[in-house]
């Protein structure tokens, strides 16, 4: 039975590594990178996009914002506290403000 246990452990390890390889790898951008992208017109100012996002959740408060690069797409990851006390996580395409993800956190 030991060879079977060893074999299944190796298979599990290989499957785990394959899953990690296919996950989307996001890179956080710092404020200097964000400013450069904004000045170059690659991304829109966050204030503009936040107004659009808040139209979906009137009275919500901003909790956290990050600018990330995911598969060559710039994404604002936003956490909002809605007026009814729920935390929503949104992902906005930083180029055009399109909501890519909207889920309860």
- pTM of whole model > 0.85? no
Note the pLDDT of residue 14. 62
User: How far is residue 86's CA from residue 51's CA, in Å, rounded to a whole number?
Assistant: 19
Note the pLDDT of residue 24. 53
Q: Residues 6-20: pLDDT tens digits? A: 555 565 556 555 544
Cα 78 to Cα 22, 40, 54, 67: the distances in Å are 24, 22, 11, 9
Q: Which domains does the chain have, with CATH numbers?
A: 25-104 (3.10.450)
DSSP state of 19: H
Q: Residues 64-94: pLDDT tens digits? A: 999 999 888 999 999 999 999 999 999 999 9
């Amino acid at each position: 039975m030991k060879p079977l246990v060893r074999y299944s452990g190796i298979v599990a390890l290989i499957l785990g590594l394959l899953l990690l390889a296919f996950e989307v790898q996001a890179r956080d951008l710092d404020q200097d990178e964000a400013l450069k992208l904004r000045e170059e017109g690659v991304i829109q100012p966050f204030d503009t996009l936040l107004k659009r996002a808040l139209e979906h959740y009137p009275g919500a408060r901003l909790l956290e914002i990050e600018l990330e690069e995911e598969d060559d797409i710039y994404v604002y990851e936003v956490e909002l506290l809605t007026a009814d006390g729920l935390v929503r996580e949104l992902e906005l395409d930083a180029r055009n403000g399109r909501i890519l993800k909207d889920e309860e956190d």
